[in-house]
Amino acid sequence: MTRQNAVDLITSKFSKFAEVYQTYQDITKALNERNSELLESTILDYQKTNTEMDTAIQTLRQNRKYVLNSAKFEYSNGPLEGINCKIKTLKRTCYGFANQKFFFLRIDCIFS
């Protein structure tokens, strides 16, 4: 039995699961294809099913502007988060410096 056959079997027996699964697939497709129109229609057209998906969709609705922007634009704060992580790791491993100048020199050495 393939994965698709298993999904088809479950969705044919449980209609609530089928609705939630289709919503999940639509959101995933919209984000992967950067299709903000599909994402917005999926978020706005969702009907409550008394499942955990209701909470997820409610959160997406509350932050709709930002979620749609993430689908429209290719900007990411990932590189900045990586820099922050390296600096925090440096602070944790060095237990402080004699003065702030040496700390900034060490950060400069890491990123040069």
Query: Is residue 43 packed enough to be buried (19+ CB in 10 Å), middle (13-18) or exposed (0-12)?
Result: buried
- Provide the residue ranges of all domains of the chain, joining segments of one domain with +: 3-72, 78-111
Q: Is the pLDDT of residue 22 over 80?
A: yes
* pTM of the model as a whole: 0.69
In sequence order, what are the residues at sequence separation of 6 or more whose Cβ sits closer than 8 angstroms to the Cβ of residue 20? 49, 51, 53
What average pLDDT does this structure show over 26-44?
95
- Tokens describing residue 87: 């600096």
Q: What is the pLDDT of residues 36-92, one digit of tens each?
A: 999 999 999 999 999 999 999 999 999 999 999 988 988 888 999 999 999 998 888
What average pLDDT does this structure show over 10-37?
94
How far is the C-alpha of 110 from the C-alpha of 103, rounded, in Å? 11
Q: What is the pLDDT of residue 76?
A: 85
Q: What is the pLDDT of residue 95?
A: 74
